[in-house]
Amino acid sequence: MRHASEVRLSHPPSIAPEEVTSVADRVATEVVAAHAADVDARGRFPAEAVAALGASGLLGVVSAASVGGSGQSLRAAVTVVSRVARECGSTGMVTCMHYAGTAVIEALGAEAVRTEIAAGRHLTTLAFSEAGSRSHFWAPLSTATADGDSIVLDARKSWVTSARQANSIVWSSKPVAGDKPSTLWHVPNPTAGLTVPAAFDGMGLRGNDSTPMNADGVRVPASARLGEDGGGFDLMMGTVLPWFACMSAGVSVGLMEAATARAAAHCAGTGFAHLGANLADLPTIRAYLARMRIRTDQAKCLLDDAVAAIEAGRPDTMLRVLEVRASAAENALEVTELAMRVCGGAAFRKEVGVDRAFRDARAAGVMAPTTDVLYDFIGKALVGLPLF
């Protein structure tokens, strides 16, 4: 198994908060965009983009300065993911999962791994969803069994982004002991017993290598545990869900930005030769473009407020976390559908560039926790019911 981050990097630059946007823009423009169409067409992993993210310091942007990272926050991660996804949804999702895994490893992982992540040499991901519990990612059916100084993991994970490319996986299982929902582990990849049944060939996000993964007698040291045995649920809800929800919303925002910009450019530059007019001269077209812009900006505003709520520890933080992903996913469906509509038959030509955003945007609504599950959580919160 060859990993995208195998290129040896030495001391990638530290990135200050005010530099995150410009560095992400440079990598997205110079590297991510250059390979995005090929990544989609061939369904291949965005290796060049991941290498560039590592070399620039962006893979380690949320790693602590004490291990060589930039020590930035969720806000920086959202900035990077959104900008990258504007050029390539697959790269945006790979980066989203890397940062979500990194957030747990930063808090509880070994210093050696944290140092490798900070140096841009280590790509990580999550393995929570399972066929048996479906979108209820917080309820793994997989097992962890103590055997001397080792833990034996057995599982059937349904979707693991970067499954064949990540250097490690933040893995969920039932606890070794007790009746709590889950425990988290840091699993090196590859490890004997980890298998990928089939390569990913999807409608959208075609390059994110998101596949099922099986664990058959996978052995890891007991020290691979992240946090307490049985403490996985609290980590999922307190750390992973806020980071994942905001960054997943960032992917949707990036796709909306791409669809809006490309549709507007197409309408401004495409005309009716016999009438001497452009598509943009039609009030109906301008109205559709306006709706796209408004929906995109609404999603961006809610995303910014969700991040602000997390940063401030506001009482409405969990509500915002649930809302932001559901809202962004739904808005992305509308915006990308409108992009296809205003571009007409030309939208089916790949050079216009809206078809990829349309296909990629469909993933967020069915990715655990699905939009319907999020709506149920939000409804429960509004009427005072417990979420779980």
H/E segment holding residue 271: strand 271-272
In the DSSP assignment, the letter for residue 254 is H
pLDDT of residue 276: 54
In the DSSP assignment, the letter for residue 204 is S
Instruction: Give yes or no for a contact between 186 and 170, defined as CB atoms under 8 angstroms apart.
Output: yes
pLDDT of residue 310: 98
Which region among 60-69, 178-187, 254-263, 342-351 has the lowest average model confidence (pLDDT)? 342-351
pTM above 0.75, yes or no: yes
Assign 273 a pLDDT band (cuts: 50, 70, 90).
very low
Which region among 20-24, 146-150, 350-354 has the lowest average model confidence (pLDDT)? 350-354
Which region among 94-103, 198-207, 330-339 has the lowest average model confidence (pLDDT)? 198-207
Ramachandran region of residue 270, left (φ > 0), alpha (ψ -120 to 50) or beta? Answer: beta
Torsion, Cα 290 291 296 298, to 10 degrees, reads 110
258 phi, psi to nearest 5 deg: -65, -50
For residue 292, give Cα distances in angstroms to 80, 230, 276, 289, 330.
22, 44, 26, 5, 12
In the DSSP assignment, the letter for residue 350 is G
Residues 16-34: b if buried by 16+ CB within 10 A, e if exposed? eeebbeebbbebbeebbbe
- 107-119 pLDDT, tens digit each: 999 999 999 999 9
Instruction: Give the rounded percent of residues in the chain with a pLDDT score beyond 70.
Output: 96
pLDDT of residue 10: 61
Half-sphere exposure of 109 (CA within 13 A, CB side): 27
Instruction: Give yes or no for a contact between 20 and 76, defined as CB atoms under 8 angstroms apart.
Output: yes
Residue 22 amino acid letter: S
pLDDT of residue 198: 83
Instruction: For CATH 1.10.540.10, list the domain ranges present in the chain.
Output: 17-122
The CA angle 227-228-230, to the nearest 5 degrees, is 120
pLDDT of residue 351: 85
Does 253 have pLDDT greater than 90? yes
Instruction: Give yes or no for a contact between 108 and 69, defined as CB atoms under 8 angstroms apart.
Output: no
Does 172 have pLDDT greater than 90? yes
pLDDT of residue 274: 52
What tokens were used for 56? 């620039």
For residue 313, give Cα distances in angstroms to 71, 305, 308, 332.
19, 12, 8, 27
Instruction: Give yes or no for a contact between 260 and 293, defined as CB atoms under 8 angstroms apart.
Output: yes
What's the whole-number average pLDDT of the chain? 93
Instruction: Give yes or no for a contact between 186 and 149, defined as CB atoms under 8 angstroms apart.
Output: no
Residue labelled with tokens 């900070």: 118
Instruction: Give the rounded percent of residues in the chain with a pLDDT score beyond 90.
Output: 86
Q: Give the sheet arrangement for strand 225-226, strand by strand.
A: 124-127, 168-173, 183-188, 225-226
The CA angle 85-29-160, to the nearest 5 degrees, is 30
Average pLDDT over residues 69-79: 97
Which region among 62-71, 194-203, 289-298 has the lowest average model confidence (pLDDT)? 194-203
Does 25 have pLDDT greater than 80? yes
Instruction: For CATH 1.20.140.10, list the domain ranges present in the chain.
Output: 241-383
Does 376 have pLDDT greater than 80? yes
Contacts of 315 (CB under 8 A, 6+ apart): none
The topology under which CATH files domain 241-383 is Butyryl-CoA Dehydrogenase, subunit A; domain 3 (1.20.140)
- 217-227 pLDDT, tens digit each: 999 999 999 99
CA distance linking residue 155 with residue 173, whole number of Å:
8
The topology under which CATH files domain 127-232 is Butyryl-CoA Dehydrogenase, subunit A; domain 2 (2.40.110)
CB atoms within 10 A of CB 10: 8
pLDDT of residue 2: 43
Average pLDDT over residues 74-79: 98
pLDDT of residue 221: 97
pLDDT of residue 1: 35
Contacts of 378 (CB under 8 A, 6+ apart): 319, 322, 323, 326
What tokens were used for 144? 């962890």
The topology under which CATH files domain 17-122 is Butyryl-Coa Dehydrogenase, subunit A; domain 1 (1.10.540)
Average pLDDT over residues 161-189: 97
Average pLDDT over residues 247-268: 96
